[in-house]
Structure 1
Amino acid sequence: MVKMLILSLTGQCNFACKYCYAHEHPAESMTAATAIAAVELAAADGQAFVLQFSGGEPLLNFPVMQEVIRYVRENGLPAIMQLQTNASLMTKEKAAVLKAGQVGIGISLDGRPDSNDRQRCLPDGRGTCWQILNGAGQLAVQGIATGITTVVTNENVDKLSGIVEMAYYLGNIRRIGFDLLRAQGRGGEMAAPSSEAVWQGVKAAFQTAERLAKQTGKSMLFSPLERVAALANSQIQGFAHCHAMNGEAAFVDAQGSLYACASLAGNPDFYLGHVTTGLDTVKQRKVAALIQGGMSFCKTCPSFSLCGGACFARWHGANCGKQGYAAECALKQVAIEWYLEHQGQGRMGHESCVTACRC
């Protein structure tokens, strides 16, 4: 069973982000035949699955994306379609297609223009913020609400409140997610933020959102807080975010090769097969066991019930051994404490994963 299918529609990108984990992926573009074969593979058991269009920059291969959207809708497949994009190539025509196809959209933006442009830039070094904002504006014109994903590095960790201000400025942003720097690809050349800096930066973002919500009457959702709430209310279980751990994820590169995770694509240890031959169940079980064994330390942490566990790919890239990636632990812990304080439960009375888990 595949619950999460990620199609890398192309390895090409019109940006050259300093932390890109995928810049070494093949630059080819996926054909419609390969994409549809992957979709059929995921839909074979008739169960609902998430279908995410990724890259590179997936809008560079919009014709194939459009073909997949049409195929899913015409055949009534139970796919929950999502697009993660830098939005710079968005037009009103593309926005209309995505809206009609009921494709959820996430925009990658790293803060105010000065923060964003230091790390999310064009190949010639120029900034990208205004191109991203123009694309977001095209979505707003179509009445499309979106989310923002911010990559958190040592460069922007102390300016995360700025992304909240940008979200309110745009007007059609409903959710913000924080994606901590991964050591894969160019990310290995950048400095990771410290756990204390993450704690302070994320808390400042929450506080800014709280203030702006009071001023505007509009609340902003945060993915880390939503996860804590879902865990607290038993709506999800630990490691629900990691479909690869249960053999339920497939990342498909442009050539049709299947991997357990987008961040681990190209690594033979996480190769699962090809769309033409299907998923190798033996390899799936082997990879799942590897991930489960690697992350077993999370279950001994006193915060696990509300944290839900760390990201294997991030932990694997950081070579943390049998301890957590400190910055991620801080992100999870500040979300837990913010949630509990706003539920009237106060701060947690035990040692947090920030102090218990150190790289």
Structure 2
Amino acid sequence: MIHCFTVHGARLVLDAHSQSLHEVDGLAWEILTGEFSGRPETVRVLQERYPAAEIEGALGEIEILRRQGLLFAPDPHPDYQPPPPEVKALCLYVSHHCNLACRYCFARAGRPDTVRKLMPSGVARRAVDLLISESGARRHVEIDFFGGEPLLNFPVVRDTIRYARERGEAAGKRVGFTVTTNGLLLTPEVRRFLLKNKVNVVLSLDGRPEAHDRWRRTPGGGGSHREVLPKIREYVREWEACRGSRGYYYVRGTFTRHNLDFAEDFRYLVEQGFHNVSLEPVVAPQDEEYALRERDLPRVRAEYERLATVYLEAFQADARVRFFHFEIDLDAGPCLPKRLSGCGAGHAYLAVDADGGLFPCHQFVGQSRFWLGDVFSGVARTDLVDAFRQTHVYTKKECSDCWAKFFCSGGCHAHAFLENGSIRHPSWLGCATMRHRLECALYVQARISEITGSKS
């Protein structure tokens, strides 16, 4: 399966199954975008515009790549069977409360009508015990602290990290940690702890003040950018100055239909000194006025192409700059289950609410139909676990013949359910957005290879 596309005039051909990317000339493009078979009539048509020797040479090169498995490669996993359930990561919903009231927040944390609850240390510790016992022979496991605002429950975050390290060492496992925070509670004490303990930190900042303040508001209704930015900047400054091992950080923003010029938000964040940036499209029901709609897709596509240009300019000025969704490794990508099943929600990755309830991921927390069990008694809904485990790119009709399947891994289950009422049918809008973002990412990787190659 090959996918032919252009970005900024570059003719690119991806072999989906071998994940080989080729930039081709006009002749090869005409051959590959047609019904290539090497038949005599194909050659006769091309001879009207190209010399016979050039056509023969191009066909020969294509045939060599085919024999090398770099073009028209067969599907490498047609009989894929997912591995048995094995928990590799937990998302601990340590706070159902937030010190902001972001209008697009799916958790509705921080709003007056939301139940405010913090996870007790005992629940968090039982979650750690569950992770250790259900991760089998896996040596590396992960715990994400989420909310709401998880740093509202910092004592439990701190205790859980210490407890998990002890339990992990005793079991021969290494535990990694990630905190997603709006930054308001990044006090000197918290910053020191996160850096010392090599905790990965995702920092929520939507970009320019007007884009951020439109949605990320205080409970009183005011904007939060003025207070958040210096706290995040200080954390990143200390991260940059940290010597020795440390976790990673990403400044993560959300864009809606009200800032479809989100390349400017990327530019703004880089100008603030942030090297690691992510901008995600909002996930929301179509009746929300900020939700992306089908009619927004042409602008979104154009903006990702503009973002590719802005990103390459930033990368050439400072090679440390990273945009999360342009980071594609064509040579050594994710492991097989991750390529085919994504995050592993519902069978390899579980979320834990403040009371210890288990759910497929943080976006399903609170939905009774997706309750899986609890940290005290373990998983009760093995049927639901198996339904998630058996949902992968080969069981999704829309995915099995899609060129992007090994990059997007079938998309987000929660987004699929939100749009279609089924985890087996991915979001059409999400897929359309993802595919063009991937095209831009592949274009960026091709250009970075040129840039870094020219410097070596």
Question: Which TM-score bucket, shorter chain as reference?
Answer: 0.7 to 0.9
The equivalent of 2:180 in structure 1 is 84
SS in 2 for 1:5: strand
Separation in 1, partners of 2:395, 2:116: 31
Give the Å deviation of 1:221: 1.9
The equivalent of 1:267 in structure 2 is 367
The unaligned stretches of length 5 or more in structure 2 are: 1-85, 241-247, 448-456
Give the Å deviation of 1:131: 2.0
Separation in 2, partners of 1:4, 1:155: 34
Separation in 2, partners of 1:177, 1:149: 5
Choose the corresponding residue for 2:95, options 10, 30, 52: 10
Give the conservation status (yes or no) of the 8 Å contact 2:254–2:279.
yes
Give the conservation status (yes or no) of the 8 Å contact 1:157–1:197.
yes
SS in 2 for 1:151: strand
AA at the equivalent of 2:251: I
Give the conservation status (yes or no) of the 8 Å contact 2:410–2:426.
no
Post-superposition Cα deviations, 1:50-90, rounded to whole Å, max 9, x if no partner, equal 21000000010101001111212344352110011111111
Separation in 2, partners of 1:261, 1:154: 25
SS in 2 for 1:206: helix
TM-score normalised according to structure 1 size: 0.84
Greater relative contact order (Cα < 8 A, sep 6+): 1
Larger Rg: 2
The equivalent of 1:71 in structure 2 is 163
Give the conservation status (yes or no) of the 8 Å contact 1:92–1:138.
no
Give the Å deviation of 1:211: 1.2
Separation in 1, partners of 2:122, 2:151: 18
Choose the corresponding residue for 1:29, options 105, 109, 118: 118
Give the Å deviation of 1:338: 2.4
Choose the corresponding residue for 1:317, options 404, 412, 418: 418
Number of aligned residues: 338
SS in 1 for 2:189: helix
The equivalent of 2:253 in structure 1 is 150
Give the conservation status (yes or no) of the 8 Å contact 2:342–2:408.
no
Give the conservation status (yes or no) of the 8 Å contact 1:43–1:78.
no
Give the conservation status (yes or no) of the 8 Å contact 1:195–1:329.
no
**Would the alpha carbon gap of residues 142 and 242 (structure 1) be closer, same or farther in structure 2, given more than 3 Å must change?**
same
Choose the corresponding residue for 1:41, options 115, 123, 130: 130
Separation in 1, partners of 2:185, 2:446: 45
The equivalent of 1:53 in structure 2 is 145
Question: Root-mean-square deviation (CA), in Å?
Answer: 2.7
Separation in 2, partners of 1:108, 1:314: 20
Separation in 2, partners of 1:327, 1:17: 23
AA at the equivalent of 1:157: L
Choose the corresponding residue for 2:270, options 154, 158, 168: 168
SS in 2 for 1:244: coil
Post-superposition Cα deviations, 1:92-116, rounded to whole Å, max 9, x if no partner, equal 1100001111100011111200111
**Would the alpha carbon gap of residues 187 and 208 (structure 1) be closer, same or farther in structure 2, given more than 3 Å must change?**
farther
Give the conservation status (yes or no) of the 8 Å contact 1:271–1:283.
no
Separation in 2, partners of 1:235, 1:289: 17
**Would the alpha carbon gap of residues 283 and 175 (structure 1) be closer, same or farther in structure 2, given more than 3 Å must change?**
farther
The equivalent of 1:350 in structure 2 is none
Pairing 1:1-359 to 2, within 5 Å after superposition: 1-23=86-108, 26-44=115-133, 45=136, 47=138, 48-75=140-167, 76=169, 77-143=173-239, 146-158=249-261, 160-171=262-273, 173-183=274-284, 188=288, 190-193=290-293, 194-215=296-317, 217-226=318-327, 228-229=328-329, 233-237=332-336, 238-244=339-345, 247-280=347-380, 282-288=382-388, 291-292=391-392, 295-319=396-420, 324-342=426-444, 344=446
Separation in 2, partners of 1:80, 1:2: 14
Give the Å deviation of 1:308: 2.8
**Would the alpha carbon gap of residues 234 and 97 (structure 1) be closer, same or farther in structure 2, given more than 3 Å must change?**
closer
Post-superposition Cα deviations, 1:281-320, rounded to whole Å, max 9, x if no partner, equal 6244344167449844222223323443211111211228
Separation in 2, partners of 1:5, 1:58: 14
Separation in 2, partners of 1:133, 1:269: 39
Post-superposition Cα deviations, 1:232-283, rounded to whole Å, max 9, x if no partner, equal 64533434433126x1111001111000011111222221101111123624
SS in 2 for 1:81: strand
**Would the alpha carbon gap of residues 304 and 291 (structure 1) be closer, same or farther in structure 2, given more than 3 Å must change?**
closer
Give the conservation status (yes or no) of the 8 Å contact 1:110–1:156.
no
Give the Å deviation of 1:198: 2.2
Separation in 2, partners of 1:254, 1:6: 11
Give the stretch that moved more between structures: 54-63 or 123-132: 123-132
Give the conservation status (yes or no) of the 8 Å contact 1:136–1:170.
no
Give the conservation status (yes or no) of the 8 Å contact 2:283–2:291.
no
Give the Å deviation of 1:183: 2.5
Separation in 2, partners of 1:94, 1:343: 36
**Would the alpha carbon gap of residues 101 and 15 (structure 1) be closer, same or farther in structure 2, given more than 3 Å must change?**
same
Separation in 1, partners of 2:258, 2:421: 22
Give the Å deviation of 1:197: 2.6
Give the conservation status (yes or no) of the 8 Å contact 2:94–2:150.
yes
SS in 2 for 1:15: coil
